A and B are shown apart, each in its own frame.
Chain A
Amino acid sequence: MFPIVPIVFAVLSVIVLGAAVMVVTNRNLFHSALYLILTFLGMAGLYVLLEAEFLAGVQVLIYVGAIAVLILFAIMLSGRYLQDPGRQLNQQWPLAAIFAVLFFGVLAFVLLQVRWATVQAEVPGNYLTRLGQDLMGPYVLPFEVASVLLLVAMVGAILIARER
């Protein structure tokens, strides 16, 4: 069989990483937001590769459809004040580069050396039903706590954002 999974993985990784770099380095704030959306879409593709299609759908629905929209609203309502933030690099960039490389080295070492507990398992056919049952069964407490968390977020945001 044509080795399609590694190729798709490589393409998606390039998209995700490239878009992430563009988010950070682009001078136009709106373009950064659009690249962020591309990053999210790439992540959704990676979730699909892991056979987590529900998670991929949720990623697009929430991250792209809600959170990215929130970010875009914030950018659009801030007017043109945030157009050109000035220089992207300041005088300490060599030091920052060294630290970034060191950090990358540490992360790579950890990722390669640690024996991660992976499980060879098939995704069951009725995984959505199982997810629902688990959510209402063993994981019902985190589920309810999530709703409280959302309530707190809503109250906090409204408190901060409303007109005085």
Chain B
Amino acid sequence: MLQNYLFIGLFVAVAVLFPFLAVGVAWLLRPKKPTPMKQSTYECGLETVGETWVRYKVQFYIYALVFVLFDIETVFLFPWAVAYHQLPLFALVEMFLFIGILLAGLAYAWRKGALRWF
């Protein structure tokens, strides 16, 4: 098993190196003439107005929160799915309970308008 991951580790090294290699090749080939005009922020040809931050939109954060919780739920489902053929029927009921509790949470989020975008 560890042999497999040695391969993956090597692959990670190569895969991370490759973009830098590509950019390195480009660095050798391309012109380098930075001017203040070129380096200014792009705003459809206009001057930038105000600080660069987005008005606080809590919706993004709520989506990420709900995502974390459902991601954890999905992780619990993985061993269940793999072992499913060897599990008794009761495992289905147990999983139904698990998913049901979390669906109740989703329904709560839905009703409270946490899933609305605006």
Direct interface between A and B, CB < 8 A? yes
Identify A66's interface contact among B67, B81, B97, CB under 8 A.
B67
Q: Which of A51-65 contact B (CB under 8 A)?
A: 51, 53-54, 58, 61-62, 65
Neighbouring A residues of B54 by C-beta, 8 Å: 76-77, 79
Known: A53-B5, A61-B71. A154 touches B53 (CB 8 A): no
* Interface of B, helix, strand, loop or mixed by DSSP: helix
Find out whether the CB atom of B61 lies under 8 angstroms from the CB atom of A161: yes
> How many contacts between A and B, using CB within 8 angstroms?
147
Given contacts A144-B98, A150-B105, contact A49 B2 (CB under 8 A): yes
Q: A62-B72, A80-B53, A143-B76 are in contact. Are A162 and B101 (CB under 8 A)?
A: no
Chain B positions near chain A (C-beta within 8 angstroms): 1-2, 5-6, 9, 51-54, 56-58, 60-62, 64-69, 71-73, 75-76, 78-84, 86-88, 90-91, 94-95, 97-98, 101-102, 104-106, 108-109, 112-114
Q: A residues bordering B, Cβ < 8 Å?
A: 4-5, 8, 45, 48-49, 51, 53-54, 58, 61-62, 65-67, 69-70, 73-74, 76-80, 123, 128-133, 135-136, 140, 143-144, 146-148, 150-151, 153-155, 157-158, 161-163
